[in-house]
Structure 1
Amino acid sequence: MIAELKLISLADQSSFESFAPEHPADFGVELRLSIGPVGEDAADSFSLTVCSPDWLRRECASQGFVWRWDLLVVEEFNRVEIVQVLQRMVSRCVGATWDMVVAQLTRRMQWEFDTYA
Protein backbone atom coordinates (compact mmCIF):
# COMPACT_ATOMS: atom_id res chain seq x y z
CA MET A 1 0.00 0.00 0.00
CA ILE A 2 1.36 3.42 -1.00
CA ALA A 3 0.19 6.75 0.43
CA GLU A 4 -1.07 9.49 -1.88
CA LEU A 5 -1.54 13.19 -1.15
CA LYS A 6 -5.08 13.94 -2.31
CA LEU A 7 -5.76 17.48 -1.07
CA ILE A 8 -4.03 20.34 0.76
CA SER A 9 -5.97 23.04 2.59
CA LEU A 10 -5.33 25.47 5.41
CA ALA A 11 -6.26 24.40 8.94
CA ASP A 12 -9.42 26.53 8.74
CA GLN A 13 -10.36 24.59 5.56
CA SER A 14 -9.74 27.56 3.27
CA SER A 15 -7.86 27.15 0.02
CA PHE A 16 -4.12 26.59 0.05
CA GLU A 17 -4.04 27.62 -3.62
CA SER A 18 -5.20 31.13 -2.74
CA PHE A 19 -2.96 31.51 0.33
CA ALA A 20 -0.15 34.05 -0.08
CA PRO A 21 1.73 35.26 2.99
CA GLU A 22 2.42 38.97 3.25
CA HIS A 23 6.13 38.23 3.71
CA PRO A 24 7.20 35.04 1.87
CA ALA A 25 10.46 34.84 3.86
CA ASP A 26 8.67 35.22 7.21
CA PHE A 27 5.58 33.04 7.50
CA GLY A 28 4.06 30.08 9.30
CA VAL A 29 0.88 28.29 8.29
CA GLU A 30 -0.86 25.15 9.50
CA LEU A 31 -1.87 22.82 6.68
CA ARG A 32 -4.39 19.98 6.55
CA LEU A 33 -3.46 17.15 4.23
CA SER A 34 -5.92 14.55 3.00
CA ILE A 35 -3.89 11.39 2.48
CA GLY A 36 -5.10 7.95 1.49
CA PRO A 37 -4.05 4.83 -0.38
CA VAL A 38 -3.22 5.24 -4.07
CA GLY A 39 -6.24 4.40 -6.22
CA GLU A 40 -8.80 4.77 -3.42
CA ASP A 41 -11.15 7.64 -2.60
CA ALA A 42 -10.72 7.16 1.15
CA ALA A 43 -8.41 9.56 2.98
CA ASP A 44 -7.45 10.50 6.50
CA SER A 45 -6.65 14.01 7.69
CA PHE A 46 -3.13 14.96 8.78
CA SER A 47 -1.75 18.34 9.82
CA LEU A 48 1.62 20.03 9.96
CA THR A 49 3.03 23.54 10.02
CA VAL A 50 5.05 24.93 7.13
CA CYS A 51 7.21 27.87 8.12
CA SER A 52 10.27 29.93 7.31
CA PRO A 53 13.42 30.18 9.45
CA ASP A 54 12.51 33.77 10.38
CA TRP A 55 9.11 32.67 11.69
CA LEU A 56 10.75 29.83 13.62
CA ARG A 57 13.32 32.23 15.14
CA ARG A 58 10.53 34.53 16.29
CA GLU A 59 8.60 31.62 17.80
CA CYS A 60 11.74 30.49 19.62
CA ALA A 61 12.45 34.00 20.91
CA SER A 62 8.94 34.36 22.32
CA GLN A 63 9.06 31.08 24.28
CA GLY A 64 12.79 30.48 24.63
CA PHE A 65 12.45 27.22 22.68
CA VAL A 66 10.44 25.43 20.01
CA TRP A 67 9.51 21.79 20.55
CA ARG A 68 7.74 20.50 17.46
CA TRP A 69 8.05 17.40 15.32
CA ASP A 70 5.40 18.43 12.80
CA LEU A 71 7.31 21.23 11.07
CA LEU A 72 8.42 21.65 7.48
CA VAL A 73 10.89 24.54 7.33
CA VAL A 74 11.42 26.21 3.94
CA GLU A 75 13.57 29.23 3.11
CA GLU A 76 10.58 31.14 1.73
CA PHE A 77 7.03 30.48 0.61
CA ASN A 78 6.85 28.78 -2.77
CA ARG A 79 3.59 26.86 -3.19
CA VAL A 80 4.86 24.64 -6.02
CA GLU A 81 7.96 23.58 -4.11
CA ILE A 82 6.01 22.96 -0.90
CA VAL A 83 3.53 20.73 -2.75
CA GLN A 84 6.37 18.83 -4.43
CA VAL A 85 8.15 18.22 -1.11
CA LEU A 86 4.92 17.02 0.52
CA GLN A 87 4.03 14.74 -2.41
CA ARG A 88 7.52 13.24 -2.39
CA MET A 89 7.48 12.59 1.36
CA VAL A 90 3.97 11.11 1.33
CA SER A 91 4.62 8.82 -1.65
CA ARG A 92 7.60 7.30 0.17
CA CYS A 93 5.32 6.00 2.92
CA VAL A 94 4.65 2.38 1.98
CA GLY A 95 3.40 -0.59 3.99
CA ALA A 96 1.45 -3.83 3.85
CA THR A 97 -1.45 -2.19 5.73
CA TRP A 98 -2.79 1.34 6.12
CA ASP A 99 -1.77 1.28 9.79
CA MET A 100 1.84 0.67 8.73
CA VAL A 101 1.66 3.61 6.32
CA VAL A 102 0.12 5.85 9.00
CA ALA A 103 2.94 4.92 11.39
CA GLN A 104 5.39 6.42 8.89
CA LEU A 105 3.29 9.52 8.20
CA THR A 106 2.87 10.31 11.90
CA ARG A 107 6.62 10.67 12.30
CA ARG A 108 6.27 13.99 10.47
CA MET A 109 2.68 15.15 11.01
CA GLN A 110 -0.34 14.81 13.26
CA TRP A 111 -3.04 12.30 12.36
CA GLU A 112 -6.72 13.06 12.97
CA PHE A 113 -7.00 9.90 15.11
CA ASP A 114 -3.85 10.46 17.22
CA THR A 115 -5.79 11.24 20.38
CA TYR A 116 -8.38 8.47 20.06
CA ALA A 117 -8.17 5.84 22.78
Structure 2
Amino acid sequence: MIAELKLISLADHSSFESFVPEYPLDFGVDLRLYIGEVGGDASDSFSLTVCSPDWLRRECASQGFVWRWDLLIVEEFNRVEIVQVLQRMVSRCVGETWDIVVAQLARRMQWEFDTYA
Protein backbone atom coordinates (compact mmCIF):
# COMPACT_ATOMS: atom_id res chain seq x y z
CA MET A 1 0.00 0.00 0.00
CA ILE A 2 1.38 3.43 -1.00
CA ALA A 3 0.17 6.79 0.31
CA GLU A 4 -0.95 9.56 -2.03
CA LEU A 5 -1.46 13.25 -1.32
CA LYS A 6 -5.03 13.97 -2.43
CA LEU A 7 -5.54 17.59 -1.36
CA ILE A 8 -3.87 20.42 0.56
CA SER A 9 -5.80 23.19 2.27
CA LEU A 10 -5.12 25.73 4.97
CA ALA A 11 -6.01 24.57 8.48
CA ASP A 12 -9.22 26.63 8.30
CA HIS A 13 -10.16 24.70 5.12
CA SER A 14 -9.57 27.68 2.82
CA SER A 15 -7.57 27.33 -0.39
CA PHE A 16 -3.84 26.73 -0.23
CA GLU A 17 -3.72 27.53 -3.95
CA SER A 18 -4.73 31.14 -3.30
CA PHE A 19 -2.63 31.64 -0.16
CA VAL A 20 0.20 34.16 -0.50
CA PRO A 21 2.08 35.18 2.64
CA GLU A 22 2.71 38.87 3.21
CA TYR A 23 6.43 38.16 3.65
CA PRO A 24 7.61 35.10 1.66
CA LEU A 25 10.89 34.97 3.62
CA ASP A 26 9.17 35.22 7.02
CA PHE A 27 6.02 33.11 7.18
CA GLY A 28 4.36 30.25 8.98
CA VAL A 29 1.19 28.57 7.71
CA ASP A 30 -0.80 25.68 9.16
CA LEU A 31 -1.78 23.15 6.50
CA ARG A 32 -4.19 20.25 6.39
CA LEU A 33 -3.22 17.40 4.07
CA TYR A 34 -5.69 14.78 2.90
CA ILE A 35 -3.83 11.55 2.26
CA GLY A 36 -5.13 8.19 1.13
CA GLU A 37 -4.17 5.02 -0.67
CA VAL A 38 -3.01 5.45 -4.28
CA GLY A 39 -6.03 4.96 -6.53
CA GLY A 40 -8.54 5.11 -3.68
CA ASP A 41 -11.16 7.73 -2.88
CA ALA A 42 -10.84 7.73 0.91
CA SER A 43 -8.40 9.92 2.81
CA ASP A 44 -7.31 10.78 6.32
CA SER A 45 -6.46 14.28 7.48
CA PHE A 46 -2.98 15.26 8.66
CA SER A 47 -1.79 18.66 9.92
CA LEU A 48 1.59 20.36 9.88
CA THR A 49 3.10 23.83 9.80
CA VAL A 50 5.24 25.05 6.91
CA CYS A 51 7.49 27.91 7.92
CA SER A 52 10.63 29.84 7.11
CA PRO A 53 13.76 30.04 9.29
CA ASP A 54 12.97 33.71 10.02
CA TRP A 55 9.50 32.81 11.32
CA LEU A 56 10.99 30.02 13.45
CA ARG A 57 13.64 32.40 14.80
CA ARG A 58 10.94 34.92 15.71
CA GLU A 59 8.82 32.24 17.39
CA CYS A 60 11.82 31.08 19.38
CA ALA A 61 12.69 34.64 20.43
CA SER A 62 9.15 35.33 21.63
CA GLN A 63 8.74 32.05 23.54
CA GLY A 64 12.34 31.29 24.44
CA PHE A 65 12.06 27.93 22.67
CA VAL A 66 10.17 26.04 19.97
CA TRP A 67 9.10 22.46 20.64
CA ARG A 68 7.45 21.07 17.53
CA TRP A 69 7.74 17.83 15.58
CA ASP A 70 5.27 18.78 12.85
CA LEU A 71 7.29 21.44 11.02
CA LEU A 72 8.44 21.65 7.42
CA ILE A 73 11.05 24.42 7.25
CA VAL A 74 11.69 26.02 3.85
CA GLU A 75 13.92 28.96 2.97
CA GLU A 76 11.07 30.94 1.41
CA PHE A 77 7.47 30.46 0.33
CA ASN A 78 7.28 28.69 -3.01
CA ARG A 79 4.01 26.78 -3.39
CA VAL A 80 5.27 24.52 -6.18
CA GLU A 81 8.33 23.44 -4.20
CA ILE A 82 6.33 22.94 -1.00
CA VAL A 83 3.84 20.70 -2.81
CA GLN A 84 6.67 18.72 -4.43
CA VAL A 85 8.38 18.15 -1.07
CA LEU A 86 5.11 17.05 0.52
CA GLN A 87 4.24 14.73 -2.38
CA ARG A 88 7.70 13.16 -2.27
CA MET A 89 7.52 12.58 1.50
CA VAL A 90 3.99 11.13 1.32
CA SER A 91 4.78 8.80 -1.59
CA ARG A 92 7.66 7.28 0.39
CA CYS A 93 5.25 6.05 3.05
CA VAL A 94 4.46 2.44 2.17
CA GLY A 95 3.32 -0.62 4.08
CA GLU A 96 1.27 -3.79 4.00
CA THR A 97 -1.62 -2.07 5.81
CA TRP A 98 -2.99 1.46 6.09
CA ASP A 99 -2.10 1.44 9.81
CA ILE A 100 1.57 0.94 8.93
CA VAL A 101 1.42 3.78 6.40
CA VAL A 102 -0.32 6.08 8.90
CA ALA A 103 2.35 5.33 11.52
CA GLN A 104 5.00 6.56 9.06
CA LEU A 105 3.03 9.70 8.19
CA ALA A 106 2.31 10.45 11.85
CA ARG A 107 6.05 10.77 12.54
CA ARG A 108 6.03 14.03 10.56
CA MET A 109 2.46 15.31 10.91
CA GLN A 110 -0.45 15.19 13.30
CA TRP A 111 -3.01 12.58 12.26
CA GLU A 112 -6.67 13.48 12.75
CA PHE A 113 -7.11 10.45 15.04
CA ASP A 114 -3.92 10.94 17.11
CA THR A 115 -5.81 11.94 20.24
CA TYR A 116 -8.53 9.27 20.04
CA ALA A 117 -8.40 6.75 22.87
TM-score normalised according to structure 1 size: 1.00
Unaligned stretches of 5+ residues in structure 2: none
For residue 105 of structure 1, report the CA deviation from its aligned partner.
Answer: 0.2
- Number of the residue aligned with 1:116: 116
2: CA distance, partners of 1:95 / 1:12: 30
For residue 14 of structure 1, report the CA deviation from its aligned partner.
Answer: 0.2
TM-score normalised according to structure 2 size: 1.00
Unaligned stretches of 5+ residues in structure 1: none
- Number of the residue aligned with 1:94: 94
Runs of 4+ in structure 1 displaced over 6 angstroms?
A: none
- Identity, in percent, stands at 89
Any idea what the Cα deviations from partners look like across 1:86-105, whole Å, max 9, x if unmatched?
00000000000000000000
Any idea what the Cα deviations from partners look like across 1:35-68, whole Å, max 9, x if unmatched?
0000100000000000000000000001110000
2: CA distance, partners of 1:73 / 1:39: 29
For residue 28 of structure 1, report the CA deviation from its aligned partner.
Answer: 0.1
2: CA distance, partners of 1:80 / 1:102: 24
For residue 8 of structure 1, report the CA deviation from its aligned partner.
Answer: 0.1
How many residue pairs get matched? 117
- Number of the residue aligned with 2:13: 13
2: CA distance, partners of 1:103 / 1:34: 15
1: CA distance, partners of 2:24 / 2:63: 23
